[in-house]
Structure 1
Amino acid sequence: MDLVWWIAIGACLVVLVFPVRIFTFTITIYYLVAFLAGTLGLFSLTKAALRRRKGALIILAGFVFVYAAMIHDILYATFYLDTGYFTNIGAFVFIVAQSVFLSIRSSESLDRLLDLSRNLERRVEERTKQLRNALRLIQNDLNVAREVQKGLLNLEDTSSRKIGPTKFSILHKPLAEVGGDLYDITELPNGKIRIFLADATGHGIQAALITILIRSVYEDLRLKEESPGKLLSEIGSQFHGKYGNVSTFFSASILEISADGRKLTLSLAGSPPVLVQNKDEEHIIECENPLVGLLENFHFEDKEILLTPGYRILCFTDGLTESSRLPGDFYGIERVLAYLRTGDSQSLEELLSGIQEDLFRFLGSSEPKDDILVLGIEDQRV
């Protein structure tokens, strides 16, 4: 093939460089080049046809006409025949042969494409069924996990409880089947009531597992008659010592109502403010402490608030106040406080339900992006 190319290039250069009286003597060489190229093509196509290469027989049949027409025209040009030029006919037959070959190849490609499409549809359908089955299994597992978590942690989505004159109402809305929010209400032997709220970092299964760890540590310490700050400090030390290697932190609030219902002692760790509404005043207790478990020996301080008969207390996790409909547009503590101020005529359950409805109105078409836990406390002394 290289030899044919070089002879052809040489013949073309002679035509370009030399005048007619010279290059006409080289036409015979160019005939030779054409004959060699045609013979090489015939040989290659014959070999391909014998090896049963796809389409080679059709191309060979068309090329035979081109080859025969070329030899005929060479003989005619050298005055061995007196018939005429037939290269155009041979070229036409060769083009027809190529068209037939391309049509067959296109048809086969289309058939393969249709087969691939059908196979793809079948595989997609099979994979969809597999994914649905897997999703159903995951959903069943999550439902079981939800029931297990509720059983272990005594969690209810909505519930009310009363200890003496003090009433508690809970609104708990996990983002998924299992969540990272936790609460506990305990009456101590000395008559005090201890309330514990926690919010594990993250969502879903990871956060749910952390809540079990939190509850395990708190269970061992919750009946100790220490102040909320000391109890929170002890929980933080134990949690940092046991689980600090996995960087497990959580926000928490511990509230303690005195036996006579006249004093609230509380300590906060990385949590939203606690709202206290007395008869003639209100308090917004802000948190100034880090998350539990973040520092090994951090000492959490206590804060004390005097309570008057008929008081109301709201404490919640940040899933409420940090819900947003647009980036930077949060529900915020101000809306919670405004609803608390206007809810004097409502029962505690109605107050919490109203806050939830107001939150969903605020979000509109958006969805909450975190677990929501709101705990309301009300004094029902006359």
Structure 2
Amino acid sequence: MCDGPQITVFESNGADCDSLHQRLAARGITTPGISLDCADDATLDKVEIAVIALRSGAEETELQAAATLLERLVSDNIPTLICGGPDNLRWAGGPLVDWVESNATLDEIIGRLNTLTRYVPLIKRMERELDQLHRLGEQLNRYFSEIDQEMRLAGRLQRDFLPAALPEPAGVKLSALYRPASWVSGDLYDAFRIDEDHVGLFVADAMGHGVAAGLLTMFMRQALVPKRVDGRFYEIISPPRALATLHECLVRQKLPNCQFVTAVYAILNARTRELRLSRAGHPCPLHVQANGAIAQINPAGGLLGLADLDGEFEEARITLAPGEKVVMFTDGLEADFFAGTEERGAEAELSTAMRGWLSLPIEEFTEAVCAHLDLKEGSLYPPDDVTLLALQIDP
């Protein structure tokens, strides 16, 4: 024990500690003796192991001083041995506090001190590790706080790319639903006027969700070309050509990890009510007919952004009757729209709830879908982004 940490004895008035000091001195250990009422901060900062020695019949002031000292020693994780004292002081300690009766032999006291001495290096090492963990925790908290702020900013920036208000062409109502799974979404929708008669409708879904998918959606919206202007004249780009141009732009980017995009692009002539629509590997839009029948609009077309695909897209043309609807959506809604089956695409069967929602006016339809999503289990942490864009011809 001669190479161990320093032992400091805090004595109450009249406590007989001479034998303890002598026995420890015989083992080469100098033990400073300090009165309980002289235990100031400067003294405690140098303590490695403490002994609180209380005389039999110690007064209340001495016991209070001992309790105050013990509280400080426990908070500083200093191994402490209490010699004597009442039970309430004994149980006021912590895991590094030991206690012996006032009549304990010196051999027992030395043995307890030997045990506490072995604890000291371990405690010091644990304190250093805890301090390092505390600093690491503070750094991680700052890092996550910065990431959170950046993600919030990215989410607000992405929303700025969405239409602030939907177009209001005569005789047509539009409605949209947009719910990212996290701060930044892999989904995108847009509805915009091309000229006085034509409205463009665009829904896209980049593989995955998060920052990478969100950046890709913003690129897609800027890369979509609805018309070409030549002086005083312009040409409206058909949906197949628009998707083919978008596919070429994505291929030129040489996206990593075979990242791809699905999309559907439609042009509505609000005057004639003709809808021209093409899709690129995207869930089939739904056509709700005037008689209540529901059909999927299923022109062929492959994924966007994969170099080994040819980039050819078919076009579907539909003249919408009064009261008819068209609903475009991303795959985050497929499980809610279709009955419990593994089959998707043109042969998939709509759920009973979906058929009921589609009979509602377009604004109420969107509200019903939104309410359904709110009530779903896990709605606070959805597994995928959800986007919906719908139109209805006035009855």
Give the TM-score category using the shorter length: 0.5 to 0.7
Which structure has the greater CA radius of gyration? Answer: 1
Which runs of no fewer than 5 residues in structure 2 stay unpaired?
Answer: 6-23, 28-107, 230-234
Match of 2:162 among 148, 154, 165: 154
Q: Find the counterpart in structure 1 of residue 67 from structure 2.
A: none
Query: What is the correspondence of 1:256-275 to structure 2 with a 5 Å cutoff?
Result: 256-275=267-286
Q: Find the counterpart in structure 2 of residue 21 from structure 1.
A: none
Offset of residue 229 of structure 1: 1.3
Q: Does 1:130 align with 2:139?
A: yes
Kept after mapping to 2: 8 A contact 1:155/1:182: no
RMSD: 3.8
Kept after mapping to 1: 8 A contact 2:328/2:390: yes
Q: Find the counterpart in structure 2 of residue 376 from structure 1.
A: 390
Given the superposition, is the C-alpha separation of residues 299 and 330 from structure 1 closer, same or farther in structure 2, using an over 3 Å criterion? Answer: closer
Offset of residue 350 of structure 1: 2.2
CA distance in structure 2 between the aligned counterparts of 1:140 and 1:365, rounded to whole angstroms: 23
Per-residue CA deviation, residues 160-179 of structure 1 (Å, 9 max, x unaligned), is: 54222111111101111111
Which runs of no fewer than 5 residues in structure 1 stay unpaired?
Answer: 1-48, 62-98
Query: What is the correspondence of 1:139-218 to structure 2 with a 5 Å cutoff?
Result: 139-151=148-160, 153-155=161-163, 160-189=166-195, 191-218=197-224
Q: Find the counterpart in structure 2 of residue 247 from structure 1.
A: 258
Kept after mapping to 1: 8 A contact 2:188/2:203: yes
Given the superposition, is the C-alpha separation of residues 323 and 176 from structure 1 closer, same or farther in structure 2, using an over 3 Å criterion? Answer: farther
Q: Find the counterpart in structure 1 of residue 364 from structure 2.
A: 350
Offset of residue 364 of structure 1: 5.2
Kept after mapping to 1: 8 A contact 2:206/2:262: yes
Q: Does 1:108 align with 2:117?
A: yes
Given the superposition, is the C-alpha separation of residues 343 and 121 from structure 1 closer, same or farther in structure 2, using an over 3 Å criterion? Answer: same
Offset of residue 352 of structure 1: 1.2
Offset of residue 336 of structure 1: 6.1
Offset of residue 214 of structure 1: 1.0
Kept after mapping to 2: 8 A contact 1:278/1:312: yes
CA distance in structure 1 between the aligned counterparts of 2:126 and 2:227, rounded to whole angstroms: 64
Query: What is the correspondence of 1:18-167 to structure 2 with a 5 Å cutoff?
Result: 106-151=115-160, 153-155=161-163, 160-167=166-173
CA distance in structure 2 between the aligned counterparts of 1:179 and 1:222, rounded to whole angstroms: 29
Offset of residue 235 of structure 1: 1.5
Offset of residue 257 of structure 1: 1.6
Given the superposition, is the C-alpha separation of residues 245 and 340 from structure 1 closer, same or farther in structure 2, using an over 3 Å criterion? Answer: closer
Figure out how many residues of one structure are paired with residues of the other and give that number.
289
Given the superposition, is the C-alpha separation of residues 365 and 316 from structure 1 closer, same or farther in structure 2, using an over 3 Å criterion? Answer: closer
Q: Does 1:238 align with 2:238?
A: no
Moved more, 164-173 or 217-226: 217-226
TM-score by length of 1: 0.64
> Secondary structure, in 3 states, of the residue corresponding to 2:254?
helix
CA distance in structure 2 between the aligned counterparts of 1:108 and 1:336, rounded to whole angstroms: 74
Query: What is the correspondence of 1:312-323 to structure 2 with a 5 Å cutoff?
Result: 312-322=325-335
Q: Does 1:299 align with 2:307?
A: no
Given the superposition, is the C-alpha separation of residues 136 and 364 from structure 1 closer, same or farther in structure 2, using an over 3 Å criterion? Answer: closer
Per-residue CA deviation, residues 298-319 of structure 1 (Å, 9 max, x unaligned), is: 2111112231111111110111
CA distance in structure 2 between the aligned counterparts of 1:253 and 1:263, rounded to whole angstroms: 16
Offset of residue 269 of structure 1: 0.7
CA distance in structure 1 between the aligned counterparts of 2:257 and 2:366, rounded to whole angstroms: 35
Offset of residue 363 of structure 1: 3.5
CA distance in structure 1 between the aligned counterparts of 2:114 and 2:299, rounded to whole angstroms: 75
